[in-house]
Structure formats: C-alpha cells, structure tokens
Amino acid sequence: MKQKETRLNSRENEKMMFEEMGDTHITTSINTPLREDAFLMDDDLKIELIEKHFREIMLILGLDLTDDSLKGTPHRVAKMYVKEIFRGLNPAHKPKASLFENKYQYKQMLVEKNITFHSNCEHHFVPIIGKAHVAYISSGKVIGLSKLNRIVRYFAARPQVQERMSVQIANELKEVLKTEDVAVIIDAKHLCVSSRGIKDETSSTVTSEYCGKFQDTQVRSELLKYIELQIS
C-alpha cells in the first residue's frame, strides 16, 4: 500500500513538473529533439500509424467515428502531420539555397521582413502564428529572397519553441551565407497562451538572435527602424 502511494505521489510530482515546463517555455536544446531512428520509417507508414492512434484518441474522447463528418478525420490529421505542419522535421525537406555573386557590391544590410509562418508549440501541440524578420550583411555572396522565406518556414514546420526557432534560423543563415552578420526577430502569438491556461488573447512573444555586426547598437537600431519594432 505504501509503495502504491509513493508511486502515485511520484506520478503527481512528474505531472506538475510537465505543466511547469510547458507554461514557462523551457527548451532543453538548440536542436529539435529527435530520435536517431526518426527517418527509418517512410511517410506512408507514419501516416498509417498516426491515423490508427488518432482514431483511438477520438474514440477515447467519445466521438462517433461512424459519422460522415468524422470518419475521415484520423487520416486527414495523420496526412497533415507528416506532409504539412511537421514536414520540417525531415532534413530532406530543407530548402536548397543557391548563392550568387554580389555583383552590385551592395554592402549594407538586406532585410526581409514580415515573413508569415505557422508553427506548433512542442509543449501542447497547438499553433504558433507569427511573423519573422531576417537580415544579413553580405560577405560577398547573396541569396534569392524567396529562400529566406523558405528557411523560416522549414524551421517553423515542426514542434517548436520560439526561442529555439530564432537560433535555428540564424545558425542556418550563417552557414548558408558564409557570414556571421545575420539577425532574426520573431513576433508571434501562441495559442497555448490565448486558447488555454491564462487565455490572454492580446499578448504576443518577441524573440531575437543578433550575430556579428548586428550586436552593435547602431546597426541593430537601423534594423529595428527598418522593421518598425520598438525593441531596446
């Protein structure tokens, strides 16, 4: 009996810890936590298994899957998870970024602002909806503008923490552009804040990652002027 009570108390403490981690936005790594065998299973099998398990979730919730509106939902959700909203988990989907010579000798910052994205909070699997602003100063090479959008959306298409996403985008830009002079600012609304818990529908979360020359106050102020965000 005492052992059972100990196990129950341990489980309750574990649940409380999980809730605290989710509500305080804790992240444990710059890299998205993935198992080593994450991509040994093909997409079709993943969809089949997720469909099976999501059907069980719906049944546990008490939903009638014989209803015409619901019977296809497990498959739709499974396909959406693998092919759309979590496709950024697979490095095979990483955008191929071609570099070009900076023939115009443009040496000032380039800013791509208001890149819209949809992601999902890894703590509750509910949407994160926001805009990203990215900037870089060429080291001799430039990248197609659409690739900046694609890089943002690639890292958004996975269970995410906004702080981690900011760093991941910045690190990818540094590697692709062969320069340390990059900056990433993300302004997003988290449905885990607005639709559950505190249920605050007006707040948004802003994160930033300044690298190289963007760590200089004057350069950073110029960037913020471009995107019209008042952030010290």
Task: Give catalytic residue positions.
Answer: 121-124, 162, 190, 192
How far is residue 149's CA from residue 134's CA, in Å, rounded to a whole number?
A: 9
How far is residue 13's CA from residue 207's CA, in Å, rounded to a whole number?
A: 31
Q: Which residues pair with 187 in a beta bridge?
A: 131, 206
How far is residue 146's CA from residue 84's CA, in Å, rounded to a whole number?
A: 19
Closest CA to 159 of 18, 27, 4, 6: 27
- Residue 164 contacts residue 102 (beta carbons within 8 Å): no
How far is residue 227's CA from residue 232's CA, in Å, rounded to a whole number?
A: 13
